[in-house]
Structure 1
């Protein structure tokens, strides 16, 4: 009997029908209640083959089951995240609050003061501090009036100003003064002078310094119209405290008179002493003496003595009593002494 004979075909077909019928019968009698449920929703009863096919996962950890089935190496443990470090707290300075009843004290910042005007803007080349650096200024103006009417009529006027500049390397001072007195017979006094002094303190020893002085004097009632005095030298402070300042000076120079019978330049020496003392917080006095002997004996000598007493008032005002004596050994038929005394009101700024 061949493979494709009618008999073999019928036999094989009948066998296939029987297998199909048995399979359909088994399928009808099988229980499919657990299909579609999750692993945790299954019943505790016996599991059928069908359930085993659909639920291969045993009742163990899911990750270990997958690892065993798929034969994968265990997953590496991830490093535990480190706790975030808190940012360093910014250091904050504790500001002390002012106590009640006390005003808050302002801390003054150190600022470079630049002369009388506090600073010199760029381009202000005409200001002395622009060329010579930082400095402190002490300025004052003085005024004195005296008058009389009745049997005699007279009036006297005295005005002046002082400038002092203290820098890091130099000290400059200047004094300007004018006196005028008139009476019934006309003008009896009319003179003026300008004095200036420049000092260079030595770094070797703070009590020593070099100086240069120039004086210009005008007097209508003297034998000369104008006198020019120039000298220089060295000065020394034998005693100096917060209240007292004593300075000695020695040097040489020359003087020349214009409009005077005495012609030519006269070489002369200079000797000086200046004492300033603060009696109290508001009272002080000053004594100043200058001596100018000529190198030639027949040309004589000159001296100037100045004394003053000052009382400080309010609002930068001061009251000053002063006397000045000027002596000339060769007055050319004029009086040798000229004494000026005054009561002045001074304004410091």
Structure 2
């Protein structure tokens, strides 16, 4: 009997069927063994690698590219809410204290560099525009006096003048201009004029001290000279100063020179002065001024000027002034030593 005879084929088929049947039965029995048991009671079974293929992570560059694609950016941090501060309990009305009044401290004003103080006195500032036209307080006035007489004696007198005063931050400038003319039926009996100028520099050392410079030009047709020039300078001090009273003392030196006079050349001389201004009432005031000019050489004599005035304020900037001035010269050159001028004037302040 050969291997491929009908009998052998039947036997082989039968064996195959039996083998398949036994394997099916075993698998069914294995699947049914876990019925009725919990997950933890079931026996572990081997599983093929094919079931976990989709769980395996790719290797190499594929893994890094997938991680960069699937990476989720972090969320921004939100600001943390501030803790609520506990509000203090509101005080009772009787417990509330009224605020004390405090005076505000005034800020010190910065000192500006101005003209007229010790660092700048006195050379090299006259040419500067601010020296003459800076911020200042001006006090100006003009005066006029008339006097006439007819009958047995015919005479008339005229007196005109003006005063200028400028008080700046660092300098005080004042000027006085005056002209007197008197005539009668025989002709002129008085004809003189003068211009007085004074410039002061208050010092930083003390507010009551200052330097000064003065220039006087005098003309008189009835004196032994045609014109006299006086120039001097020095230091002045205010021993007493209030809102109503101003008293100034001065001392210095300079020179005088007369033109058209027998006395030739420059005469060195000292200068001493005192000036008092006092406000009696709101509308009444008086002024007393004295200047003394002794020459350094005794044989050249001395001079003095005394001026007194009383002023009553009227309306519309007008004032009435009564004044007297005495000029003394110890060397008159065959003329009178004294010249006294007195007048009643109407002054307009502007």
- TM-score above 0.5: yes
User: Equivalents in 2 of 1:130, 1:301: separation in Å?
Assistant: 35
- Deviation, 1:184, is 1.6
Q: Which has the larger radius of gyration?
A: 2
- Deviation, 1:244, is 0.2
Counting only pairs closer than 5 Å after superposition, residues 281-300 of structure 1 correspond to structure 2 as 281-300=282-301
Contact 1:214–1:228 (CA under 8 A) maintained in structure 2: yes
User: Equivalents in 2 of 1:220, 1:187: separation in Å?
Assistant: 10
Contact 1:246–1:273 (CA under 8 A) maintained in structure 2: yes
Tell me what 1:326 maps to: 327
Tell me what 1:276 maps to: 277
Tell me what 1:242 maps to: 243
User: Equivalents in 2 of 1:170, 1:339: separation in Å?
Assistant: 33
CA, structure 1 residues 130+290, in 2 after alignment: closer, same or farther (shift >3 Å)? closer
User: Equivalents in 1 of 2:241, 2:131: separation in Å?
Assistant: 31
Counting only pairs closer than 5 Å after superposition, residues 87-126 of structure 1 correspond to structure 2 as none
Tell me what 1:343 maps to: 344
- Deviation, 1:129, is 5.2
User: Which consecutive unaligned segments of at least 5 residues does structure 1 have?
Assistant: 1-125
Counting only pairs closer than 5 Å after superposition, residues 212-251 of structure 1 correspond to structure 2 as 212-251=213-252
- Deviation, 1:239, is 0.3
User: Equivalents in 1 of 2:184, 2:128: separation in Å?
Assistant: 43
SS of residue paired to 2:204:
coil
User: Equivalents in 2 of 1:269, 1:131: separation in Å?
Assistant: 29
User: Equivalents in 2 of 1:336, 1:241: separation in Å?
Assistant: 37
User: Equivalents in 2 of 1:238, 1:185: separation in Å?
Assistant: 50
Tell me what 2:61 maps to: none
- Deviation, 1:284, is 0.1
- Deviation, 1:338, is 0.1
- Deviation, 1:131, is 4.9
Deviations 1:305-335 (A, max 9, x none): 0000000000000000000000000000000
Counting only pairs closer than 5 Å after superposition, residues 1-349 of structure 1 correspond to structure 2 as 131-349=132-350
- Deviation, 1:204, is 1.0
| Structure 1 stretches of 4+ moved >3 Å | 126-132
CA, structure 1 residues 130+215, in 2 after alignment: closer, same or farther (shift >3 Å)? closer
- Deviation, 1:220, is 0.1
Deviations 1:57-85 (A, max 9, x none): xxxxxxxxxxxxxxxxxxxxxxxxxxxxx
The alignment yields a C-alpha RMSD, in angstroms, of 1.3
User: Equivalents in 1 of 2:312, 2:323: separation in Å?
Assistant: 12
Deviations 1:278-321 (A, max 9, x none): 00000000000000000000000000000000000000000000
- Deviation, 1:274, is 0.1
Tell me what 1:20 maps to: none
CA, structure 1 residues 334+201, in 2 after alignment: closer, same or farther (shift >3 Å)? same
- Deviation, 1:185, is 1.4
- Deviation, 1:229, is 0.0
User: Equivalents in 2 of 1:243, 1:170: separation in Å?
Assistant: 21
Please give the TM-score of this superposition, normalised by the length of structure 1.
0.63
CA, structure 1 residues 154+197, in 2 after alignment: closer, same or farther (shift >3 Å)? same
Contact 1:237–1:248 (CA under 8 A) maintained in structure 2: yes
CA, structure 1 residues 127+250, in 2 after alignment: closer, same or farther (shift >3 Å)? closer
- Deviation, 1:275, is 0.2
SS of residue paired to 1:298:
helix
Please give the TM-score of this superposition, normalised by the length of structure 2.
0.63
